[in-house]
Structure 1
Amino acid sequence: MSTVRTVLGDLAPGEFGVCDAHDHLFLRSPRLPGQELDDVGAARAELAAFRAAGGTSVVQWTPYGMGRRAADLALLSRATGVHVVCATGLHQAAHYPPELPDRLAGRLAEVFVSELTEGIGTSGVRAGLIKVAGGFHGLDAHARRAMTAAAEAHHATGAPIAVHLELGTAALDVLDLLCGESGVPGDRVILGHLNRSPDLVVQRQAADSGCWLAFDGPSRANHATDWRMPEAVRALAEAGFGDRLLLGGDTVVAQARSVDGGPGMPHLLRRTRPRLVAEVGAEQVRRILVDNPARAFAVDWRQAG
């Protein structure tokens, strides 16, 4: 039976509810000095605010080595009643100390599988997806190694692979590698940030693979998010891809949290949802927030620990 692997255990897809399909409660990176998400109290308040806005589940895409705080995720999920999914995987090399990717070389797939099936460190929390990243209009050697390892881990466990697309680019290169060379089924791949490069032709080509398109990061003035997203969602739905769409907030710095004066997770439901309802109707939006994530993150797990 397919289940969603949350930080508190496996969950029936029908219980997943209204989902923020790409966000972060904890995150740190050398590229974001002084802007870390590492405050447990703020994370709890943000989850509570999301819950009060009608949210039920959050998928955290923070991968290996970027401050996931898996044990705290479990405590926060239990305290707030919000289902939380944690990621394994590896981001771009720039997000790590130079020695870390080299230290993991040759055993990336082993690490990913272990975190999916046995748990992250001593936390007892198992990851529910694999997060990797492409580059700007291409894939460097680090990205190819990480994606190849992610594909191997997928084949061993069934876990979905979520991909950060740098400024929304290289979607087709990612699909060529994961689905073409590595044999990952399209419906096990989630492309993040595709809306940051609002090319409807590429979006439809990507959707043709059967993958999921995550329209994440609304409220960002420097990306084509809020103001271009509704028309893209409508165009994809009208083209028959309404069952492949996901929505996420992608809060990556402390100042973006609602509890710190930013839009945060509640923005997805308070502002983005009604705008999309006006564009494509309430039923389509319900599918994007409820039905689609339940299918995207549900897995018939193999090698379950």
Structure 2
Amino acid sequence: MSLVNTVQGAVDTAELGRTYMHEHIFVLTADVQVNHPGEWGDEDERVADAVARLRALAAQGVKTIVDPTVIGLGRYIPRVQRIAEQVPELNIVVATGLYTYDSVPFYFTYRGPALSAMLGTDFPDPMVDMFVADLTDGIAGTGVKAGMLKCAIDHEGLTPGVERVMRAVARAHQATGAPITVHTHPGSRTGFLVKKVMCDEEGVEPSRIVLGHSGDTTDCDQLAELADAGFVLGMDRFGIYTDTTLEARADTVVEMCRRGYADRMVLSQDASCYIDWIDPNVMPFLTQWHYLHLGEDVLPYLRDKGVADEQIDTMLVDVPRRFFEAS
């Protein structure tokens, strides 16, 4: 029996069922929300709205979501616990790690490697111990243990800050066996930088890493090369069509399935109940960016284009289960 930690406790991977590997509940700018809470509004109303949205998702047959909200994205586990208690039919796996495209937060500036460079003495990176503690002891006294590690590399590339976080995540993985998801920017081919740093240099097996947002490209040759290297491809931004279309994202999945890569892909939407990065007046125009879009619109499209139900089950059930079982 293999177990994965969720907000409500450890569950057998056989019970994960249909799994969306990249969904958020809330994405928030923590300092702004604490000091200017007007936009957030009433806490009870926000929680009730999240409960209703997640119950609707569970009613579609989704059994598990992975919420990769970490430092830099406003993670607050007590709120997620409150929601999870009201949606017991849905497993919620939370993550640890740090989200940045460039520099580390000032908190880390003169700790660990930076201090080592200044003083000529070796200081371990405190990020590693923080991430390991979230995975093994629980997060901030809540008793909730993270089930996933998270970092990011976007079009800014391998900045010193991004590299530091990637190595800290890799070392926390080596200490715990917890799997990893990495926000990537396929247009800049950053998946290959993940391979260089985390796999070639830090020794992480590519099969333990989801390359998030791989579906942002239609370059199936690039995706096939990364899948052949062993990575899991996150086709996980359905509903975000500001620079692309449903058809472009879905047709990429269709082509990758045709090439035989259904067993290297996971599907998701990167949606949330509330994200404060976007003006609330804009959100009504993002009509397909919600938890139900994949089930209502994307899966029927894939089936119409020849993707078999067996392949859909592979991407939504089998690949996530195997990914967590390897821990």
Superposition TM-score, scaled by structure 1 size: 0.88
Q: Which 10-residue stretch deviates more, 247-256 or 4-13? A: 247-256
SS of aligned partner of 2:109: helix
Q: Which residue of 2 aligns with 1:266?
A: 292
Matched, 1:251 2:271: yes
Q: Distance in 2 between matches of 1:78 and 1:291?
A: 26
Whether 1:282 and 2:282 are equivalent positions in the alignment is no
Q: Which residue of 2 aligns with 1:141?
A: 160
Shift of 1:198: 2.0
Partner of 1:51: 58
Per-residue deviation, 1:103: 6.4
**Percent identical across equivalent pairs?**
32
Q: Distance in 2 between matches of 1:194 and 1:124?
A: 33
Shift of 1:10: 1.6
- Name whichever of 262-271 and 149-158 sits farther off: 262-271
* Residues 228 and 110 of structure 1, relative CA distance in 2, 3 Å threshold: same
- Does residue 292 (structure 1) correspond to residue 319 (structure 2)? The answer is yes
Query: Paired residues, what number?
Result: 298
User: Which of 129, 135, 152 is matched with 1:116 structurally?
Assistant: 135
The 1:64–1:103 alpha-carbon spacing in structure 2 relative to 1, beyond 3 Å, is farther
Bigger Cα displacement from structure 2, 230-239 vs 99-108? 99-108
RMSD, matched Cα: 2.8
Following superposition, which runs of at least 4 residues in structure 1 exceed 6 angstroms of deviation? 30-38
Q: 2:246: which partner in 1? A: 226
Which deviates the most, 19-28 or 290-299? 290-299
Q: Given the alignment, which residue of 70, 75, 83 partners 2:91?
A: 83
CA contact (8 A) 1:17 1:55 kept: yes
1:64 and 1:87 in contact (8 A); partners too:
no
Moved more, 112-121 or 262-271: 262-271
SS in 1 for 2:260: helix
Change (3 A) 1:186 1:94: closer
SS of residue in 2 equivalent to 1:23? coil
- CA drift of 1:66 comes to 2.7
Provide the rounded CA distance (Å) in 2 between the counterparts of 1:187 and 1:156.
17
**190-199 or 65-74, larger mean C-alpha shift:** 65-74
Report how far residue 104 of structure 1 moved: 6.2
Matched, 1:42 2:49: yes
Deviation per CA, 1:51-85: give whole Å up to 9, x if none: 12221111001012532221232332232121000
| Counterpart AA for 2:80 | L
- Point out where structure 2 has 5 or more consecutive residues left out of the alignment: 113-124
Per-residue deviation, 1:158: 0.5
Matching residue of 2:193:
173
Q: Of 71, 77, 85, which residue of structure 2 is paired with 1:70? A: 77
CA 1:36–1:187 in 2, change beyond 3 Å: closer, same or farther? farther
The 2-side partners of 1:225 and 1:115 are apart by 37
Report how far residue 228 of structure 1 moved.
Answer: 1.4
Matched residue type, 1:11? V
**Where do 1:93-104 residues align within 5 Å?**
98-102=105-109
